[in-house]
């Protein structure tokens, strides 16, 4: 956020900053969604809705699981939330008792630790590197499970690494969590943005009682509309509903009406074209960074991030990102935003920018590293 703030400051002073620190698609929201949102405004669909979300939208999400995952999900288990952030808030509020721990990967999405802390829980950060494909696995979960452990929170594809968990690893983890009577929480917000042959596997496919959260932010291109969803076991639905009523009253009605158009074939075609464009960008940026000397041992399969080791001779990611921004006008995120395991040796590049901007960023990086 600090990098972003400084980048905006420099831009408003007239500097041409290449923004590779951003965590949202640069594409506009697909037009069918925007039109549905405009119509909702004009026809007065601007009142509170059911705290769980519009029945039609919960049904549309259930249909999405049927078509995309072959899963039959009862819409009474689906909660529409203010972004995946709202889903994370409900899940942690429901599950955490003082002293409870949740196993998370380090590096990982930074807000998770804070959600847990807000409800007196603790993040048990487990270091993962290239030898673990930057993801947790059964062995790591087993080794790190303690008396106070309540569950595991996974994200696939992951932020900041783009790493995808394979189905067999997901099964391993789910088996161990079940054995310990724990909870499996799966953040699937970057599902839909996978560029390899890796299948998008939902935790619900291997663990029907998993807490699965997703969002309209990334694949559906609706970051500012603040809409996501949570799928939870039927047994806890009444508690989640009460909390949703108290915390939010309901998610934005306008955004919900807009999101009904997100599952139409015409909107999905736009999203699939955008996914192709993200792949083209990744396929440009990854070899370019490696040529410059950044260390990316495994091809990131999804999201729109590349997590890279600093080139030889550069030792501190925070001073590196500051220097790159101030002297070379390229904004990237320091690894220390995402954890502590080798964090100061890593940085995160986002390719949620047009190809010509990424090309300019790469030229500047080349110059920066050469002149060091
Ligand atoms: C892994 C991950 N989870 C959750 C979120 C929250 O997203 P939102 O609240 O916009 O749905 C983000 C946002 O960047 C993220 O990267």
> What is the percentage of the chain residues whose pLDDT exceeds 70?
100
**Ligand 1 nearest atom to the CA of residue 158, by list position:** 1
Segment 151-165, tens digit of pLDDT: 999 999 999 999 999
**Burial class of 4 by CB neighbour count within 10 A (0 to 12, 13 to 18, 19+):** middle
Segment 64-86, tens digit of pLDDT: 999 999 999 999 999 999 999 99
Q: Is the CB of 187 under 6 A from ligand 1?
A: yes
Token output for 294: 């950044």
Measured in Å, residue 189 CA sits from the centre of ligand 1 at 6
- pTM (predicted TM-score): 0.96
pLDDT for 1 beyond 80? no
pLDDT for 368 beyond 90? yes
Mutate to test the pocket of ligand 1, among 105, 109, 161 (most ligand atoms within 8 A of CB): 109
Segment 191-248, tens digit of pLDDT: 999 998 878 899 999 999 999 999 999 999 999 999 999 999 999 999 999 999 999 9
- Determine whether domain 2-23+267-371 maps to CATH 3.10.20.30: no
Q: Kindly state the average pLDDT of the residues 36-65.
A: 98
At residue 168, the pLDDT reads: 96
Nearest of 307, 313, 316, 311 to residue 347 by alpha carbon: 307
DSSP state, residue 28: P
Q: Is the CB of 252 under 6 A from ligand 1?
A: no
Orientation angle between helical segments 317-328 and 355-371, nearest 10 degrees: 110
Residue nearest to atom 16 of ligand 1 (CA): 159
Segment 302-318, tens digit of pLDDT: 999 999 999 999 989 99
Q: Where are the domains of the chain?
A: 2-23+267-371, 31-263
At residue 4, the pLDDT reads: 86
At residue 372, the pLDDT reads: 79
Measured in Å, residue 257 CA sits from the centre of ligand 1 at 21
Classify domain 31-263 by CATH number. Answer: 3.40.640.10
**Ligand 1 nearest atom to the CA of residue 108, by list position:** 1
């Amino acid at each position: 956020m600090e990098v972003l703030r400084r980048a905006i400051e420099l831009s408003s002073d007239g500097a041409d900053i290449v923004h590779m620190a951003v965590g949202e698609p640069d594409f506009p929201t697909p037009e069918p969604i925007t039109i549905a949102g405009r119509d909702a405004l004009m026809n007065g669909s601007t009142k509170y809705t059911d705290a769980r979300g519009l029945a039609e939208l919960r049904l549309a999400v259930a249909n999405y699981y049927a078509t995309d995952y072959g899963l039959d999900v009862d819409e009474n288990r689906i909660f529409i939330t203010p972004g995946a952030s709202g889903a994370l808030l409900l899940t942690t509020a429901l599950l955490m008792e003082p002293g409870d721990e949740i196993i998370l990967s380090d590096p990982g999405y930074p807000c998770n630790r804070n959600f847990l802390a807000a409800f007196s829980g603790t993040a048990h950060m487990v270091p993962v590197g290239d030898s673990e494909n930057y993801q947790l696995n059964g062995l790591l979960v087993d080794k790190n499970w303690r008396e106070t452990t309540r569950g595991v929170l996974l994200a696939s594809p992951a932020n900041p690494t783009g790493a995808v968990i394979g189905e067999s690893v997901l099964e391993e983890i789910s088996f161990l969590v079940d054995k310990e009577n724990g909870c499996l929480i799966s953040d699937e917000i970057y599902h839909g943005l996978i560029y390899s042959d890796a299948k998008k596997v939902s935790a619900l496919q291997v663990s029907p009682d998993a807490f699965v959260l997703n969002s309209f932010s990334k694949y559906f291109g609706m970051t500012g509309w603040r809409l996501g969803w949570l799928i939870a076991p039927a047994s806890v639905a009444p508690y989640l509903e009460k909390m949703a009523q108290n915390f939010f009253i309901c998610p934005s009605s306008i955004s919900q009406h807009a999101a009904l158009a997100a599952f139409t074939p015409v909107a999905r075609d736009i999203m699939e074209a955008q996914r192709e464009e993200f792949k083209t960008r990744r396929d440009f940026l990854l070899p370019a960074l490696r040529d410059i000397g950044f260390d990316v041992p495994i091809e990131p399969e999804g999201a729109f991030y590349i997590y890279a080791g600093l080139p030889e001779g550069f030792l501190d990611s925070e001073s590196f990102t500051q220097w790159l921004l101030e002297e070379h006008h390229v904004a990237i995120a320091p690894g220390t935003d995402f954890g502590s395991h080798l964090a100061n040796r890593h940085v995160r590049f986002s390719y949620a920018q047009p190809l010509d901007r990424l090309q300019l960023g790469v030229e500047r990086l080349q110059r920066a590293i050469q002149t060091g």
